[in-house]
């Protein structure tokens, strides 16, 4: 493999023209790339709030074999499946172009191969910060019985409350992000449609978001219940409601991510019908 096989760009339209079919060919595993590039394409780079991304593709003989993206603020790499040789070549390419990464996210074997290559070439140490399960809906199995209350769409009047819950969710999962009226549009939470599960008196007790549909796919994210209200079935109820609504709107595939270290949430989504597809590892680089 030659370094010229890796093509880097900051032009989202050019990237999608060349790599879009590849991303859609494995839409389940490529869900993050599909939603991100759609957001950049429709709302512009400024909407993401993380600077102009570097988008890369591995192309040989007119066929795209892999892709990645990295934003300048986080300096993290998110990459599709690679062989060990491809991971080593990509590390060499990025180093030669002056990129200094703080971590990598990818399917387990890929993330490990790239982390090893980066360590060999830079001396940086790598550690797995979190392990994430990608799940896909088979047959939706709603909770039985449902908790008291019902689902409703989150409206403009709920915005302050919604932002407070998104801040709480981000803190729970260790995301370092500012979420307020000034920064909201640039966060990953802004473009989603949200649903509350509310108690019979109208008090919100849980929420779920849904990303815009891309290639027939909708990713459910985030799902949040305040700690004092957990264990009452609210998260399962609101996830089922959002899933049913997405299917009714024409989605042909529903996916979501779970933290592998949280047995409660993994068991919940299994019961709802979200089966395991693959596992991603998130590595941090230091030194």
pLDDT at 179 over 60: yes
- Mark whether 216 and 270 lie in a shared domain: yes
Q: Which residues pair with 252 in a beta bridge?
A: none
- pTM of the entire predicted model: 0.93
**119 & 141 share domain:** no
97 and 64 in a common domain = yes
Residues 109 and 147 in one domain: no
Does 87 lie in the same domain as 215?
no
Q: Is the pLDDT of residue 271 over 70?
A: yes
58 lies in the same domain as 93:
yes
In this structure, the number of other CB atoms found within 10 A of the CB of residue 29 comes to: 18
CA distance 110 to 122: 18
| Closest-CA residue to 235 (of 268, 192, 283) | 268
> Are 98 and 211 part of one and the same domain?
no
Q: Which among 98, 123, 148 is the end of a domain?
A: 123
> Mean of the pLDDT values across residues 130-151?
96
pLDDT at 176: 83
The CATH number linked to 190 is 3.40.630.30
Containing structural domain, residue 222:
137-279
Residue 128 lies in a domain: no
Going by pLDDT thresholds of 50, 70 and 90, the confidence category of residue 281 is very high
Note whether 259 and 162 are same-domain residues. Answer: yes
pLDDT of 162: 98
Same domain, 164 and 219: yes
For 226-268, write each residue's pLDDT tens digit: 999 999 999 999 999 999 999 999 999 999 999 999 999 999 9
Position 85 pLDDT exceeds 90: yes
Overall number of domains in the chain = 2
Spatial distance between the Cα atoms of 146 and 167, rounded to a whole number of angstroms: 27
């Amino acid at each position: 493999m030659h370094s010229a096989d890796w093509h880097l760009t900051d032009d989202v339209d050019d990237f999608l023209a060349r790599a879009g079919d590849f991303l859609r060919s494995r839409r389940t595993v490529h869900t993050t790339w599909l939603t991100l590039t759609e957001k950049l394409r429709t709302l512009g780079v400024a909407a993401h709030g993380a600077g102009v991304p570097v988008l890369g593709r591995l192309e040989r003989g007119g066929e795209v074999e892999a892709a990645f993206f990295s934003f300048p603020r986080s300096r993290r790499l998110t990459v599709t499946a690679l062989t060990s040789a491809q991971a080593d070549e990509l590390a060499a390419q990025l180093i030669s172009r002056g990129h200094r990464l703080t971590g990598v996210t990818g399917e387990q074997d890929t993330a490990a191969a790239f982390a090893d290559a980066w360590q060999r070439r830079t001396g940086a140490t790598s550690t797995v910060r979190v392990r994430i399960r990608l799940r896909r809906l088979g047959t939706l199995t709603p909770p039985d019985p449902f908790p008291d209350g019902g689902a409703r769409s989150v409206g403009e009047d709920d915005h302050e409350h919604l932002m407070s819950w998104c801040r709480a969710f981000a803190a729970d999962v260790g995301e370092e992000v500012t979420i307020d009226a000034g920064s909201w549009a640039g966060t990953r939470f802004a473009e989603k449609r949200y649903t509350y599960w509310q108690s019979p008196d109208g008090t919100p007790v849980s929420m779920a978001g849904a990303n815009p549909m891309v290639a027939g796919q909708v990713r459910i994210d985030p799902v949040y219940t305040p700690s004092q209200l957990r264990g009452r079935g609210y998260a399962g109820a609101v996830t089922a409601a959002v899933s049913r609504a997405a299917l009714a709107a024409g989605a042909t595939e529903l996916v979501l991510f779970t933290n592998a270290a949280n047995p409660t949430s993994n068991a919940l989504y299994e019961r709802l019908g979200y089966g395991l597809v693959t596992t991603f590892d998130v590595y941090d680089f230091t030194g």
